[in-house]
Structure 1
């Protein structure tokens, strides 16, 4: 690779989850509904939904043979080796909105901004079932 090339998530090196925008759009809708209560609450909730919508478009999760990678554009933000994982869970059953996993030294919560079915399948494939 030359210095002018930047690494990108490579589908040949693992599964990259497709983004899903229903959670950010639902949060934005809640923000609009909050207009019935107060403008400030509506503004805060809507801005959080907008933040999630932007994140759903710029972040990618990639499952490789040995780790979960979190990409932002061409940069790997974090690498989570499966050997460090203790447990994981997707909260709220048929409509998962929150992904939780625990490593040996830390706990992580991520909003489900990706295809939840593929996320569950890849977790079952790479990490022991919770």
Structure 2
């Protein structure tokens, strides 16, 4: 699916036939927050306070999945809240990356020259993996 042009690149939302010059916006995935929400129920039966904390965390992740978007451009990973870009991570500053627990991806780790980042996988994991392999092939 190709959307209007953003910053001179075609904006696409699927991983089929990705080109390095295309801007790819990842679709949200609610699998991780919903799994945590469901997991909070039996925990709440054992300990109400811990169950409540886990439930609150899952609601926080649901809100993040609904409001945040990742865009892979030709040179950067951008994070948007709505239409406002809130953070930019240039690939040239990345040293490595890894998706933890590949059968059920739950966490993206990437290291820049001066900082380390952990991002919950609240986006389509297959497109995320494809974009990372294509634009940041070093691991």
**Both proteins in one fold, TM over 0.5:** yes
Q: 1:61 aligns with which of 70, 75, 78?
A: 70
CA RMSD of aligned residues (A): 1.6
CA distances 1:67-105 after superposition (whole Å, capped 9, x unpaired): 000000121111000000000000012111000000000
Ranges in structure 2 where 5+ consecutive residues have no aligned partner? 1-5, 13-21
2:117 equivalent in structure 1: 108
1:3 equivalent in structure 2: none
What is the correspondence of 1:45-60 to structure 2 with a 5 Å cutoff?
45-60=54-69
1:52 Cα offset (Å): 0.1
Q: Could you tell me the TM-score, scaled by structure 2's length?
A: 0.84
Structure 1 or 2: more helix by fraction:
1
Q: Does the 8 A contact of 1:123 with 1:129 survive in 2? A: no
Match status 1:122 vs 2:114: no
Q: Does the 8 A contact of 2:95 with 2:138 survive in 1? A: no
1:36 Cα offset (Å): 2.1
Aligned residue pairs total 123
Q: 1:15 aligns with which of 24, 27, 36?
A: 24
Match status 1:89 vs 2:98: yes
Q: Does the 8 A contact of 1:90 with 1:96 survive in 2? A: yes
Q: Does the 8 A contact of 2:99 with 2:109 survive in 1? A: yes
Whole-Å separation in 1 of the counterparts to 2:27 and 2:36: 19
